């Protein structure tokens, strides 16, 4: 018997930055775009001083980093400036992955407030940026002690990975209610076979992607020397990307999400079938398939691999002619989350009744594996509105008709 823990959300730490390539006193001569480039280079080069702290590197934990984003509108205090012009980038206060055995960490980002910086005026030959840590905007508004006893309406502006983690915790609570609603639908009994913490872990990461931050970091950081490992390189900063929970709380006519799951033992597998919408056959246009697998592994502290249970799937690329995007295909299989985003535009031909088949397999990774391992699987197929194919109703009708989980060998 193994006890599966509640979902542990962990934030990452914060540090300041040194811009070694800029002479002291020259900060005011930089354009906002130049400052952004310098700060991103400085943060990326400082990885060895920005290591994750416990429990952020935990193999079963969901680790949350801060995105440079908030809803504040005020100007920063005098002499303080914004380090970035692009919203949604990983905050300069974040620590960096990778996690244990180079697993992807942080797993996701969420808004953590826009930090502002100013040049440190101490004796140094390099530009050192101080991070603003007081209570004026910009940042995220939180409840705070008032100036007078009994004042319950006071607020401060704060920034940090703890803010981001709080927002993801709130998103998990909203998704918990969604799971309760789904239990009443046809096939909803499967939700009770997998711990809620695993469902929430899968759903939260399923709502993440690199968005506009990926292309910005690629433009600034990609070089001829790191091009082969670049995707793995920037997952240290982005993880699987920023969480967009609204994508999961409600589907659209052009986007269909299905959930599945089960319990596996060593050297066994399950095949999950996602019905293809027949109206999409032969259509050109952008389409995206997102598949997320999550589980909680028993651990073996006496083995260097630590993770007893290794679950994985091979993305079904050929039926709809899509290819892997974003996170590196090797890195996604090193932890307890495999999150794959596949995109394509070419026409694919199939007939009504064809399915995307996803085989989830289990093997021992750190010594013997005698326990059963529950897992959750989330799949989303979406097409661009300009394609003009409303796939949701077609997928829904076929799932309701019958969706089977067939044990493999």
Joined tokens for residue 287? 């389409």
Cα of 332 vs its chain's centroid, Å: 11
Residue 384 confidence (pLDDT) above 60: yes
Give the number of other Cβ atoms within 10 Å of residue 79's Cβ: 10
Same domain, 218 and 359: no
The span from the CA of 409 to the CA of 404, in Å, is 16
pLDDT at 10: 45
190, 215, 249 - which closes a domain = 249
Distances (CA, A) of 243 to 110, 178, 201, 342: 6, 16, 12, 17
pLDDT band at 5; cut points 50, 70, 90: very low
Domain-terminating residue out of 234, 249, 264: 249
In contact, 133 and 160? CB cutoff 8 Å: no
The phi and psi torsions of 133 (rounded to 5 degrees) equal -130, 25
Q: What stretches of 42-139 adopt beta strand conformation (E)?
A: 62-67, 108-111, 117-119, 126-131
Q: How far is CA 169 from the centre of its chain?
A: 14
Work out how many domains the chain is built from and give that number. 2
Q: How does DSSP assign 199-243, residue by residue?
A: HHHHHHHHTEE-TTHHHHHHHHH--TTTGGGHHHHHHHHHTT-EE
Residues 197 and 312 in one domain: no
Tokens of 271: 């095949």
Beta carbons of 175 and 200 less than 8 angstroms apart? yes
Which of 146-155, 199-208, 387-396 ranks highest by mean pLDDT? 199-208
Final residue of a domain: which of 193, 227, 249?
249
Chain segment 194-244, per-residue pLDDT in tens: 999 999 999 999 999 999 999 999 999 999 888 888 988 899 999 999 998
Are 243 and 256 members of one domain?
no
Q: What is the pTM of this model?
A: 0.89
Same domain, 274 and 396: yes
pLDDT score of 149: 87
State whether 261 and 392 are in the same domain.
yes
Strand bridging mode 208-209 / 309-313: unpaired
Q: How is residue 307 annotated by DSSP?
A: B
Instruction: Indicate whether 118 and 173 sit together in one domain.
Output: yes
Q: Range of 295's domain?
A: 251-409
- Matching residue, tokens 């002499």: 79
Cis peptide before 404 (omega within 30 of 0): no
Residues 224, 345 within the same domain: no
* Higher pLDDT pick, 348 / 336: 336
What would the pLDDT profile of 282-339 be if each residue is shown by its tens digit?
Answer: 888 899 999 999 999 999 988 988 899 999 999 988 888 999 999 988 899 999 999 9
- The rounded distance, in Å, linking the Cα atoms of 108 and 161 is 11
Could you tell me which residue, 16 or 69, shows the higher pLDDT? 69
How many Cα neighbours within 13 Å face the side chain of 166?
A: 11
Q: Could you give phi then psi for residue 111, rounded to 5 degrees?
A: -55, 130
Residues 231 and 314 in one domain: no
Residue 269 sits in the same domain as residue 176? no
Candidates 262, 259, 294; CA nearest to 395 is: 259
* pLDDT reported for residue 406: 41
**Best CA proximity match to 109, nearest among 210, 259, 20:** 210
Q: Are residues 314 and 368 in the same domain?
A: yes
List all residues 6 or more positions away from 207 whose beta carbon is below 8 Å from its beta carbon. Answer: 171, 243, 244, 245, 247, 248
Same domain? 219 vs 265: no
Q: How much is the average pLDDT of 36-54? A: 88
Structure tokens at 400: 């309701």
What's the mean pLDDT when you consider all of the chain?
A: 87
Same domain, 13 and 141: yes
Distance (Å, rounded) from C-alpha 171 to C-alpha 106? Answer: 17
Give the model's pLDDT for residue 316: 87
């Amino acid at each position: 018997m193994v006890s599966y823990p509640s979902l542990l959300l962990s934030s990452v730490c914060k540090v300041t930055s040194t811009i070694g390539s800029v002479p002291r006193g020259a900060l005011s001569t930089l354009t906002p775009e130049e400052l952004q480039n310098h700060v991103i280079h400085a943060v990326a080069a400082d990885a060895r001083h920005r290591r994750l702290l416990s429990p952020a590197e935990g193999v079963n934990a969901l680790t949350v980093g801060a995105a440079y984003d908030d809803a504040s509108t005020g100007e920063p205090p005098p002499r303080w400036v914004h380090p970035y012009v692009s919203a949604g980038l990983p905050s300069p206060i974040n620590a960096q992955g990778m996690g244990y055995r180079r697993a992807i960490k942080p797993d996701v980002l969420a808004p953590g407030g826009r930090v502002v910086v100013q040049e440190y005026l101490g004796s140094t030959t390099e530009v050192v940026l101080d991070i603003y840590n007081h209570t004026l905007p910009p940042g995220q508004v939180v409840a705070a002690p008032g100036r007078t006893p009994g004042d319950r309406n006071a607020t401060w502006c704060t920034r940090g990975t703890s803010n981001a983690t709080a927002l993801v915790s709130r998103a998990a609570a909203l998704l918990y209610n969604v799971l309760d609603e789904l239990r009443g639908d046809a096939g909803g009994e499967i939700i009770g076979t997998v711990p809620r913490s695993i469902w929430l872990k899968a759903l939260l990461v399923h709502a993440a992607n690199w968005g506009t931050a990926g292309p910005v970091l690629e433009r600034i950081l990609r070089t001829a020397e790191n091009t082969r490992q670049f995707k793995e390189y920037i997952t240290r900063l982005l993880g699987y990307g920023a969480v967009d929970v609204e994508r999961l709380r409600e589907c659209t006519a052009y986007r269909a999400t299905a959930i599945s799951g089960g319990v596996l033992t060593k050297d066994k597998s399950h095949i999950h079938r996602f019905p293809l919408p027949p109206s999409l056959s032969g259509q050109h246009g952008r389409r995206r398939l997102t598949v997320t697998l999550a589980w909680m592994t028993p651990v073996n502290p006496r083995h260097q691999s630590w993770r007893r249970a290794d679950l994985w799937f091979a993305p079904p690329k050929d039926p709809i002619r899509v290819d892997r995007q974003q996170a590196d295909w090797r890195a996604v299989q090193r932890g307890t989350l495999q999150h794959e985003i596949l995109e394509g535009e070419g026409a694919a031909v199939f007939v009504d009744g064809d399915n995307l088949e996803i085989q989830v397999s289990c093997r021992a990774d750190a010594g013997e594996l005698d326990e059963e391992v529950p897992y959750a699987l989330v799949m989303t197929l979406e097409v661009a509105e300009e394609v003009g194919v409303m796939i949701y109703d077609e997928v829904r009708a076929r799932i309701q008709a019958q969706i089977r989980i067939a044990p493999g060998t």
